[in-house]
């Protein structure tokens, strides 16, 4: 964390590196805020949010003097060791400084960021399989989606001799062992399981959580685990990129489906999407063809389209048995920095609030947990263009996307609801479950957190 002096910084015209012929004056405080001497009155979340907004506006307008003044206040009220609101604000503070450094605006702030780069860096942890399995079990954030999706999948694959699962998951197949267990105990004759996952192609952005082993090694562990449950598992890795809507994956799935049709296999195709689809670019494409590497992807240029739209329509053309879509229920897609900041601040307080209920301060797991949140905040705030990959959309937008792709929603059954409630009983009292039409939504203190939806081709 960058450290300022105990007193407010001098006006920038006193700094020798600036043009001596320029006359600079300290900008007034944003209207409605106490002076920097009354820091105790700024400790509430609403005031912290407003200060962050004013700081973002100052950075956007290259008003280095005002930005530095607000940053000084934020630095003094947002301790990285403080309460959940303070730690949340501290993460946004770091992200704003990183934005100033990356954009080249507010040269003084950029210099300050570079001078304190060690304190501003986000050290995301590379997990072993055992560590990651334990990590995702700490909270319902991922377990909710695992539980709801597995219940829907088990119902959909009844009667199939072969089940092909395409696991598009942020958590590196951590859902699969529980699903294999359930398949082993539910079916007298267990189906052959084909598991397909994607590995990045030349991605320069690797998002957390990260594994410390290859997918080939992970596949070997999953095959051995399935064998211990008397389930035959085939594991396949397809190099494919989220940045072009997993086009290579779609091509290979189409080839595999053609073989299934030709041989008349009794095979279910399950598409399990767990918090990964929001990395697919959502911007409307402006030309009639998309060129990526050596491939050309046509689409209807007369209507708005995007890689997300193209991906979902391509999935629909594969006629999957079931598609389960689980993601975070927020909107971080705005092109306006302040809108994104407000949306992110009013959503990402939740993981900071929940962490106090299950991890002690100073623990390694807590450091890993909050580093992952900091990574998300920095990506949302500090980056633009293709490097801004955290483009979460709320449930209603995904539901509309799925309907536009001609999928039909299916309700989660009583078994799914019961299993989710049982799982939530293992966690803090603030977690809850609500049903919105056919969908399930995980809540924290009444606020939507993660949604789960299930879809059929017919």
Q: What is the pLDDT of residues 370-429, one digit of tens each?
A: 999 999 999 999 999 989 999 999 999 999 999 999 999 999 999 999 999 999 999 999
Query: Do 321 and 374 share a structural domain?
Result: no
**Within a domain: residue 292?**
no
The last residue of a domain, from among 345, 374, 389: 389
Query: Do 311 and 261 share a structural domain?
Result: yes
**Within a domain: residue 88?**
yes
Query: Do 215 and 143 share a structural domain?
Result: yes
Distances (CA, A) of 245 to 281, 347, 357: 7, 26, 37
pLDDT tens for each residue of 306-351: 999 999 999 999 999 999 999 999 999 999 999 999 999 999 999 9
The C-alpha atoms of residue 97 and residue 381 are separated, in whole angstroms, by 10
| Cβ atoms within 10 Å, residue 164 | 26
Cis-peptide into 209, omega within 30 deg:
yes
**Within a domain: residue 14?**
no
Query: Do 381 and 239 share a structural domain?
Result: no
Closest CA relative to residue 395, chosen from 453, 316, 322 = 453
**Within a domain: residue 29?**
no
| Cβ atoms within 10 Å, residue 286 | 8
Task: Identify the pLDDT of residue 36.
Answer: 46
Distances (CA, A) of 26 to 72, 199, 275, 285: 13, 51, 45, 44
- Residue 405's domain is classified under what CATH number? 3.40.50.150
Query: Do 199 and 96 share a structural domain?
Result: no
Query: Do 357 and 244 share a structural domain?
Result: no
Query: Do 254 and 234 share a structural domain?
Result: yes
Query: Do 310 and 162 share a structural domain?
Result: yes
**Within a domain: residue 420?**
yes
Query: Do 149 and 95 share a structural domain?
Result: no
Closest CA relative to residue 260, chosen from 199, 192, 186, 309 = 192
pTM of the model: 0.87
- 224-228's contacts with Cβ under 8 Å and 24+ in sequence apart are 225/177, 225/180, 226/180, 226/193
Domain residues for the domain of 447 are 126-283+305-330+392-457
Closest CA relative to residue 431, chosen from 449, 423, 443, 416 = 443
The C-alpha atoms of residue 345 and residue 381 are separated, in whole angstroms, by 11
Query: Do 220 and 78 share a structural domain?
Result: no
Task: Identify the pLDDT of residue 30.
Answer: 54
The last residue of a domain, from among 389, 415, 434: 389
**Within a domain: residue 9?**
no
Distance from CA of residue 248 to its chain's centroid? 22
**Within a domain: residue 25?**
no
Task: Identify the pLDDT of residue 263.
Answer: 72
Query: Do 216 and 320 share a structural domain?
Result: yes
**Within a domain: residue 300?**
no
Distances (CA, A) of 444 to 232, 391, 398: 38, 21, 21
Query: Do 326 and 195 share a structural domain?
Result: yes
| Domain count for the chain | 2
**Positions of the chain with pLDDT under 70:** 1-43, 103-122, 202-203, 262, 264, 285-304, 458
The last residue of a domain, from among 346, 365, 389: 389
């Amino acid at each position: 964390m960058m450290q300022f002096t105990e007193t407010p910084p001098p006006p920038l015209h006193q700094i020798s590196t600036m043009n001596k012929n320029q006359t600079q004056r300290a900008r007034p405080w944003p209207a409605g805020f106490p002076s920097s001497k009354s820091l105790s009155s700024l400790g509430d979340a609403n005031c912290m949010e407003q200060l962050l907004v004013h700081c973002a506006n100052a950075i956007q307008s290259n008003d280095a003097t005002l930005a530095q003044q607000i940053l000084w206040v934020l630095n003094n009220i947002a301790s990285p060791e403080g309460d959940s609101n303070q730690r949340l604000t501290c993460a946004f503070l770091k992200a704003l400084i990183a934005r100033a450094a990356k954009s080249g605006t507010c040269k003084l702030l950029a210099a300050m960021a570079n001078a304190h780069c060690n304190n501003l860096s986000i050290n995301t942890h590379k997990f072993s399989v055992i560590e990651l399995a334990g990590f995702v079990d700490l909270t319902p954030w991922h377990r909710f989606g695992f539980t709801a999706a597995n219940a829907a999948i088990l119902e959909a694959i009844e009667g199939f001799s072969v089940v092909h699962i395409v696991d598009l998951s942020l958590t590196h197949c951590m859902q699969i062992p529980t699903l294999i267990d359930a398949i082993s105990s539910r079916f007298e004759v267990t189906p052959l399981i084909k598991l397909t996952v994607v590995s990045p192609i030349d991605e320069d952005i690797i998002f957390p959580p990260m594994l410390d082993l290859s997918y080939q090694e992970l596949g070997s562990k999953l095959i051995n685990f399935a064998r211990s449950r008397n389930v035959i598992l085939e594991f396949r890795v397809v190099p494919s990129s989220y940045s072009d809507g997993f086009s290579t994956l779609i091509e290979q799935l189409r080839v595999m489906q053609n073989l299934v049709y030709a041989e008349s296999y009794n095979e279910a195709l399950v598409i399990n999407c767990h918090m990964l689809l929001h990395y697919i670019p959502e911007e409307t494409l402006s030309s009639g063809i998309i060129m990526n590497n050596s491939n050309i992807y046509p689409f209807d240029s007369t209507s708005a389209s995007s890689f997300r739209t193209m991906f979902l329509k391509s999935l629909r053309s594969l006629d999957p048995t079931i598609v389960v879509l689980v993601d975070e229920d927020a909107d971080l897609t705005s092109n306006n920095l302040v809108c994104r900041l407000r949306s992110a601040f009013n959503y990402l307080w939740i993981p900071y609030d929940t962490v106090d209920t299950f991890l002690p301060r100073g623990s390694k797991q807590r450091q890993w947990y909050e580093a992952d949140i900091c990574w998300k905040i920095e990506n949302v705030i500090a980056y633009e263009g293709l490097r801004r990959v955290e483009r979460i959309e709320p449930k209603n937008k995904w539901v509309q996307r799925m309907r536009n792709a001609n999928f039909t929603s299916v309700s989660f059954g009583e078994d799914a609801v019961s299993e989710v409630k049982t799982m939530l009983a293992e966690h803090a009292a603030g977690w809850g479950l609500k049903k919105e039409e056919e969908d399930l939504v995980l809540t924290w203190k009444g606020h939507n957190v993660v949604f789960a939806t299930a879809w059929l081709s017919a």
